[in-house]
Amino acid sequence: MPELTSRRGLLFGSAAIGAGALLAGCTSNESGDEPAANDQPAADDKPGKEVTIGFAGPQADHGWLNAINDNAKSRAKKYSDVTLEITEGSNDTAAQIGQIETLINKKVDVLVVLPADGKALTQVGLKAMRARIPVVNLDRIFNSPQAYRCWIGGDNYGMGLNAGHYIGEKLKGKSDAKVIELAGLDNLELTQQRTQGFDDALKNYPNIKKVARQAAEFTVESGQAKMAQLLQAQSKFDALWNHDDDQGVGALRAIEQAGRDDFLMVGGAGALSAFQAIKQDNGVLKATVLYPPTMAASAIDLARALGQGDGVSGMAEFEIPASITLYSAVVDKDNVDQYMPTGFK
């Protein structure tokens, strides 16, 4: 799960599903393949300069991270002029540094890096940039802007903000409403940002009080255990915000085991299982707030644009932006069909 993500730069785009499409015009030339289910096609089919993109990410030990890898691979396959050199993911910073140095030594044209630890990998980002290999820093941000040419990632504060506003509007007519929060790992900045955004949104609804918060670990098991504790401690509440759809699977198990259906639940990230539950609309889960893994597809678009010396279609500038923050759209039963193809397992 992403960590240490800064809420920086411009807000680019209006929804996760559009992330790939918005950047699709970075360059020309898509191959004639049909678009993948979670991948919007590029705008032009004229081949351009051949570009070799090195991709290095952490180990896919979480549904979201696996979706990041899948989005990068499927996006690269759309382009007849892109060769993707992808490393074996690792959560060991030394191993990932070594993998990136190998890509630098291979003299790839562009690097896309989702660091296991942004701070720890800043130096290797700087090394690539000094070697005149532009770096697209994906989600977890390096400590120095000199270590990347472009940063693209999600908006953790925005996740909490939009979750809070959704719940606030649903409970607007209820006096003395109570909400609880199932957070992620508390030692991660992203968790703190999501909570801050949620708390800031709730300030707009004086009828709502947050009565409990429990931190889980972004896993199914922790979600189930921590949710069980919350349910035992809180006999009555009106809404739950869960930071992560993977741990939400466990939370829903605990809710079902407790026989509770007297509140609404909002999830986070955009898992396929969450979308399916929202569409069925026969349980407590009514919405989820996106942290779109389609950002990896957009990172490939950006890398290709950098390799071919192009900008972003629809923008006046000749160069791609230095920073792109994706929007945390709320998905509920009204728009879930639109987002279903982007859901990750």
Domain assignments of the chain as residue spans, ordered by start: 17-154+292-326, 156-290
Amino acid present at 186: D
* Start-to-end C-alpha separation, the chain: 14
Task: Give the integer Cα–Cα distance in Å for 233 and 212.
Answer: 9
Task: Give the integer Cα–Cα distance in Å for 114 and 57.
Answer: 5
* Contact residues for 298 (Cβ-Cβ < 8 A; gap 6+): 19, 20, 22, 23, 152, 324, 326
Task: Give the integer Cα–Cα distance in Å for 179 and 342.
Answer: 29
Q: What homologous superfamily is domain 17-154+292-326 in, according to CATH? A: Response regulator (3.40.50.2300)
Q: Which residues of 100-129 are buried (b: 16+ CB within 10 A; e: fewer)?
A: beebbeeebbbbbbbbbbbeebbebbbbbb
| Nearest Cα residue to 216 out of 244, 180, 176 | 244
Determine the pLDDT at residue 39: 46
* pLDDT average per 10 residues of sequence, the chain (345 residues): 35 35 38 40 66 94 90 96 95 95 98 94 98 97 97 98 98 96 93 97 98 96 98 97 96 98 97 97 98 96 95 87 96 98 92
Six-digit token string for 208: 């709502």
Q: How far is CA 189 from CA 140, 184, 195, 294, in A?
A: 11, 10, 10, 22
Determine the pLDDT at residue 11: 31
Q: Is 17-154+292-326's fold the same as 156-290's?
A: yes
Pairing type for strands 264-269 and 208-215 reads: unpaired
Amino acid present at 57: G
Determine the pLDDT at residue 12: 34
pTM beyond 0.85, yes or no? no
| Nearest Cα residue to 251 out of 236, 276, 273 | 273
Six-digit token string for 124: 């290797």
CATH number of 156-290: 3.40.50.2300
Q: DSSP secondary-structure letter at 12?
A: -
